[in-house]
Amino acid sequence: MIARFSLRLVALGYLAVLLVLPVAWIVWSAFGGGVDAVWRSATAPYAVHALLLSVLIAVIAVIANTVFGVVTALMIVRHPFPGVSILNAFVDLPLGLSPVVVGLSLVLVYGATGWLGPWLTAHGITVIFSLPGMILATVFVTLPFVVREVVPVVREVGSEQEEASRTLGATAWQTFWRITLPSIRAGVIYGVVLTMARALGEFGTVIVVAGNIPGVTQTLTMYVEAEFQNFDPRGAYVASLELAVLAILTLVLMNVVRRKGVA
């Protein structure tokens, strides 16, 4: 009895110290100067731009990596080809590499003096210090999540339901949308949540690739850092709060999607 109680206490205490206290402190600090001050901080032009930019990049990364992740997972499990183990290993690469290294390597490839830089410049495309580079960097670092979540689910579901669908006259496309996707939905959703969280929170890679130009290439995480350095903690707290709210919104949204139509 006592043992169980103290175990719970430890678990809750751990959560409180690591998670609840800091988040509560941010909320407290953000609202310390009243609602008006929060509103002013939140609607500052650079803050708004940073928020929109972060959301835009995250949404694009989620879409790109969900499509890539589901297709890759299906390929790895269902249609393994000779080089599949290499592909499998490469998918994990972003997890192992330091974000700064990823950012630097992107600069080396796409930068003005990089391998592809001159060709891209000649065709009027700027990657580094602009949106394409930021998207590229974010997509790169969030690459593994959907694949890693979906592969075990695809394996577990097996191919019998898909076979049944085919014998019932469904085309490959119909089978994918009506059978495969719904049956791996839980894995996809979890992968999306992780991708979204990482994309919104990404800092190192994007700052290397994009600089930190307020109102242009400054994302919400960079904004938090900049405000903090500028001795405007309220701006930092409010932006942090926005990040937390975005995370919670993602979780709630995904829970709604997951429950839809399932007994």
Partner 1 sequence: MAITVQGVSKRFGDFQALDKVSIEVEDGSLTSILGPSGSGKSTLLRVVSGLEHPDQGRVLIFGEDMTHLPPQKRGVGFVFQHYAAFKHMTVWENVAFGLKVRRRPKREIQTKVAELLELVQLGGLAERYPGQLSGGQRQRMGLARALAVEPKVLLLDEPFGALDARVRQELRTWLRRLHDEVHVTTVLVTHDQEEAMEISDCVVVMNHGRIEQSGEPRRLYDHPDSEFVMSFLGYANRIGDSLVRPHDIRIHLQPGADALAATVRRVVFLGFEVRAELEIPEGQTVRVQLTRSQAAELSLAPGQTIYVDLAHSRRFPEEREAAA
The footprint of partner 1 (CB under 8 A) covers 160-161, 163-171, 174, 178-179, 182-183, 185, 261-263
**Cα four-point dihedral sign 248, 246, 231, 223:** positive
Instruction: Give dist(CA 103, CA 53) in Å, integer.
Output: 18
Give start and end residues of each alpha helix (H) in the chain: 2-15, 21-30, 35-42, 45-78, 84-96, 99-110, 117-122, 131-141, 143-157, 160-167, 172-175, 181-183, 185-201, 204-210, 220-229, 233-259
Cβ proximity to partner 1, 118 vs 152, nearer residue:
152
Nearer to partner 1, 84 or 97 (CB): 84
Smallest distance from the beta carbon of 159 to partner 1, in angstroms? 9
Q: Decide whether 14 or 177 has the Cβ nearer to partner 1.
A: 177
Least distance between partner 1 and beta carbon 76 (Å): 20
Cβ-contact 189, 258 below 8 angstroms? yes
* Complex with partner 1: residue 158 or 215, whichever CB lies closer: 158
CB of 240 to partner 1, least distance (A): 38
Residue type, 38: V
Give the shortest CB-180-to-partner 1 separation in angstroms: 11
